[in-house]
Structures are given as C-alpha cells and as structure tokens.
Amino acid sequence: MGMRPAPVLTLRASECPMLNVPPAVIDVFDAMRAASPPRSAELEGCGADLYGEEAMAAQYRAWKTKHPSALESFDKFARAAEGKQVAVFLDYDGTLSPIVADPDRAFMSDGMREAVKSVAALFPTAIISGRGREKVYDFVQLAELYYAGSHGLDIMGPPPRDSLPQRLRSSAAEKHAEKSAEARSSGRPTPRGYDGGKQAGCWKTEEEVWEEEEEKKRQQMEERVYLQPAKEFVPIIDEVSTKIRDRAASIPGTSVENNKFCVSVHFRRVDEQKWERLAKIVKDVVQDYPGLRLSHGRKVLEIRPELAWDKGKAVAYLLDALGLDDVVPLYIGDDRTDEDAFDVLNERGNGYGILVSSVAKSTRAVFSLQDTSEVNDFLRRLVEWKQQQKEPKVYDRHSGCNRANGTTGKLSTTMRSSSAIHSSAL
C-alpha cells in the first residue's frame, strides 16, 4: 500500500476536536472522514470499541448520563429560569429542519414554524445559521425573529412596529391587477398602471410598479440589518464560490452554496472515493486567499473570513445589544459550529446549551435532544411553561422590554454599529 500524500491543508486543532493528533497532520480529508461520524476521547468507557447498532445504542445511553434529555430535565431548567428572562437561540439545519441530501430542500414543517412563532411571541428569539441570512429567512418566513446568517456575520432584527408582516402587505401591483379586472368587467378603459395612490393620476406599467415594490422591500430589509463585520469580503466570497463551483463541477453530488459572507461546500451526496479530490480542489482555491480560513461541519466544508467571529460571538453580541437583565439564554444546535455558542453560555455561567443528536459525540452542551421532533416538543413545552406562570413577563420585540413589569431591555446603540464590532473582531 502506498503512503498517504502530504496533508492538503492544515487546520487548527480546535477545528477538529475529534482528532487526537497534532494539528500539523490534520488535513481537509482527515476532517471530512472524522466528521462522518465524529469520535472523541469523551466516548471512552461508553462502548466506543464496539460496533453495530446495539453498540451505538449503548454508547448513546451512556453518553446521555453526561448530557441528559432537555425534555426529561425541563424542571431543572424551569427552576433556574424562574423569575428571569429567557432568550432563545436556534440553529436551523438539523435543529428546525431535518438534515437532507439537497440543502435547497431543507424545509421546516408547518408544526415547527408554529412552535417557533409561539416561542418568539414570548421570548427574544434568534436563528443563528451558517446559511446565508436571506436564505434562512426564506425558509422560516417569520418576521418577528432575529436572524444571524453566515455564522453570525450578517445579523438582522425584526421590523419596526409600524411595518406590517410581509404576508399582510398588499403590493401596488396587486392593487393594479384588481383595478384592471374591475375596469374590464365594467367596460371602462384599463389603466396602464397605478402608483398606489401616492400621486393621483400618475399611472405606470405593471412591471414598473412591481420593480418599485421589490426595491422598497429590499431597502426595508437592509434597514433591519444590524451587523455585517465582513462586508468587504463579499466580492472575495463570490470569487471563491465561483472558482470552487467550476472546478468541482465534474464531481457528482457536490453542492457549492454562496452564503454571501461564507461558502459552504456540501459533500453529503458525493461518493466517499472522491472526497480527497474534492478536498484538494477546495484547498487549491482557498490557499490563494490568505484572508480566508477553512472549517468543517456535518458533511460540509466551509470557507469564511479570517475574523475572530463565530456563532458564539454572535450570541454574546445579541445578548449584550438587547440589554437583557438577569437572562437565561438557551442555544439549541446540532453541529460542530454550534459548540462555539455552547462555550459562550458555559463561560457566562447562566445559560444552557442543548445538542441535537441521535448518536454519542463530543460536545460542551449541557443537555441533549434526539432529533427535530424533540426540538419541537421542547419549544412547545417552553411556551406552556411560560403561559402557566402567574404573571409571565412577555417580551415586546418592538420596545425591547418585558411588558408585565416594565423591565427595559431596549436595543442598545451598538446594535447598529458594525464598525466597533468589526475592529474588535480583527
């Protein structure tokens, strides 16, 4: 048997906690193999030397003694959160939606959407994902949440009080269509277009009206963006995404996702025999951009700006910016990138990380949930617990305060100051 080639790219040891080897010999291919499934020293004594379904079940039972079910341990959490504000942070893929082969079809169920909506009505709630912020929003379609895309590099808040949810907005184009239909049925001349009533007698084409409405929506979305510390990297990310997509086009199953501030290379549908080739393609592109770094998640390689910023930093930023006093933050996630958020909650000493996993794996989370179904159950349990309190302090996302007792939690001015965050992240 021939010798293994030299590592195609060295990663930080912290990027690959499941590999008990010096960082100098950790390469992209090793990381891809190690994450499928991950192994670690934490599993020693849990039957990690056994194989088969029975052994995996035994490992999982032993692992849950260290990371008990968040559902079974709910009373413990409830006692700790009694009389305090709870903030909820959620990953998307593998947490709110099942992991699927095609990342473009990672839809959440209507039941999960209803559960998240109910949580957001009672607690400040954010979704923090490696996906692009706009893509996650398209999946979730709940305006009342905070969204942190690209591992927290792109953070958007809820609309102001006087902005109606998108589903309640009636576009000028729709009004024009109704007006045109009415004119046709009555025999009156059909107008060329209508400006929504802002300027009486000013008529436009239906296409012009639609374009203006779309531009207005884009502007409204941008006004809700609070933080983009890697804005100058957008052209570089576009370039890298295009190069990897072109070079990996000959590898069936590869999916390259441009998340605006990071690139995700999904290899879930790639034949394992082609993983090393794909890893080399990614390495060859990334090594030409010293301002980028490579990390990995569940069947995905991710290229991000070399900034001291991650999901944990995003959680800390939102908690600080929201100005919540005496808060108990919860973070629910399933991936290695969520460990940064678990670390932040552990360092603060007042929060709980919850890992979504059906297998034993290394984690700094306190509790666990087995799958997205249990996440749904936990969120509903959280809502029931809040509603059963005698005087539940309901979070008002518009004013940033707890309505029952008037405790303020207003958005601080740093919420819209990305320059200060950017300088601290470099």
pLDDT, position 367:
97
pLDDT at residue 204 is higher than 60: yes
Structural domain includes residue 408: yes
Structural domain includes residue 416: yes
pLDDT, position 14:
46
CA distance 378 to 333: 13
Band (175; pLDDT cuts 50, 70, 90): very low
CATH number at residue 119: 3.40.50.1000
pLDDT, position 178:
52
Q: Give 42 or 332, the one with higher predicted confidence.
A: 332
Which of 132-141, 199-208, 377-386, 412-421 has the least mean pLDDT?
A: 412-421
Residue range 95-118, pLDDT digits in tens: 999 988 888 899 999 999 999 999
pLDDT at residue 198 is higher than 50: no
pLDDT at residue 231 is higher than 70: yes
- Overall domain count for the chain: 1
Structural domain includes residue 241: no
Strands 125-128 and 352-356: unpaired
Distances (CA, A) of 2 to 5, 218, 279: 9, 55, 19
Q: What is the average pLDDT across 17-24?
A: 41
b/e burial code for range 25-37 (CB count within 10 A of at least 16 → b): ebbbbbbbebbee
Closest to 333 measured CA to CA, from 308, 352, 307: 352
Burial of 157 (0-12, 13-18, 19+ CB in 10 A): buried
> For residue 264, which phi and psi values (nearest 5 degrees)?
-110, 125
What's the domain range around 332? Answer: 74-158+309-425
Q: Are 124 and 395 in contact (CB under 8 A)?
A: yes
Q: Give 47 or 153, the one with higher predicted confidence.
A: 153
pLDDT, position 405:
37
Band (140; pLDDT cuts 50, 70, 90): very high
Band (40; pLDDT cuts 50, 70, 90): very low
To 5 degrees, how large is the angle CA 24–CA 28–CA 32?
125
pLDDT, position 29:
63
pLDDT, position 342:
98
265, β-bridge pairs: 256, 301
Q: Give 369 or 215, the one with higher predicted confidence.
A: 369
142, β-bridge pairs: none
Band (176; pLDDT cuts 50, 70, 90): very low
Highest mean pLDDT among 52-56, 195-199, 211-215: 52-56
Structural domain includes residue 281: no
Q: What is the average pLDDT across 62-81?
A: 95
Structural domain includes residue 336: yes
Q: How many helices (H) and strands (E) does the chain have?
A: 13, 15
Structural domain includes residue 252: no
Q: Are 8 and 280 in contact (CB under 8 A)?
A: yes
Residue range 298-321, pLDDT digits in tens: 889 999 999 889 999 999 999 998
Closest to 32 measured CA to CA, from 372, 271, 332, 306: 271
Does residue 180 sit in helix, strand or coil? helix
**In 68-205, which residue ranges form alpha helices assigned H by DSSP?**
74-81, 110-120, 133-140, 172-186
Does residue 410 sit in helix, strand or coil? coil
Q: Give 109 or 169, the one with higher predicted confidence.
A: 109
Quick count: other Cβ atoms within 10 Å of Cβ 214? 12
CA distance 113 to 205: 37
Q: What is the average pLDDT across 278-295?
A: 93
The pTM is what?
Answer: 0.69
Angle between helix axes 206-223 and 172-186 (nearest 10 degrees) is: 160
CA distance 178 to 132: 35
Structural domain includes residue 171: no
Structural domain includes residue 186: no
